Amino acid sequence: MRWRRHHLQPATVIYRWLTHDWLVSIDRVRDEEGEPDEVEIVEVGEGDVALLLAALKRLNNGVYALKVTLDFLNTRVGTLQGQIKELEEALKSHLEAFQAENSRLAESVNRVSREFKEGTDTLTKNVQLSLDMFLEKLSGELTRLEDTLSTITQDVSAVMSKLKEVELVSTDAATAVKSDVNSLRGSMSNVELALNELSQRVTRLEESQLAALRQYSLELQEVSLKLTQVNQLLQKLLEKESKEPTG
């Protein structure tokens, strides 16, 4: 028996007769994920009718599955066509509504444009009138402001003149006060010297008075002692006279 394998693309079926005594068995080859990948053709020898029947059965099953798939696809295509038709009708309706809305919007824009132009013309006239009145009022205000500024300038000049006079008087007064302060400072120095001298004199006088008082105290003690002695002597004399007989 001889074997030859031919790997073809999916959904490809090839019938081959090598000779009158060889038959062909067709089987699908699946990849690792279980999906149909290729068609495997196996050549077998003569008389293998069972293998041929199995191959025909598989082919019949595949054709049936393909028919079911085609029916399902036809159903899906019909549904899809219906949905496409509905979508076309919806798009047509939306397009008509959009066109109508666009027309209304264009009319509204034109109307607003006309009203805006009319309002702009009216507003321009009103603004021009208001602007003229404002400029006239502003001119009067500026004139009054100019007069006020002129008066303020004169007042400021007078104040500056008075400030200069006050500055001169303040300068003279400050000079005189500074001179008086210097003189007073000199007088205070003289008074301080006199006070120092007086303090020294008072200190010396106090020392001399204390010395004199101490001397007087010593002399008083001595006089007191002498008086005590005299008193004792007088008492003795009196006692002696009292004891002598009278003549």
pLDDT digits (tens, 9 = 90+) for 70-96: 888 888 888 888 888 888 888 888 888
Q: What is the pTM of this model?
A: 0.26
**Cβ distance 25 to 44 under 8 Å?**
yes
Per-residue CA distances from 192 to 95, 181, 184, 206, 216 (Å): 117, 16, 12, 21, 35
Amino acid 90 reads: A
Task: Kindly state the helix (H) or strand (E) to which residue 17 belongs, with its residue range.
Answer: none
pLDDT digits (tens, 9 = 90+) for 148-189: 888 888 888 888 888 888 888 878 777 877 777 777 777 788
Listed in order, strand segments (DSSP E) in 31-94 are 36-44
Distance (Å, whole) CA 111 – CA 97: 21
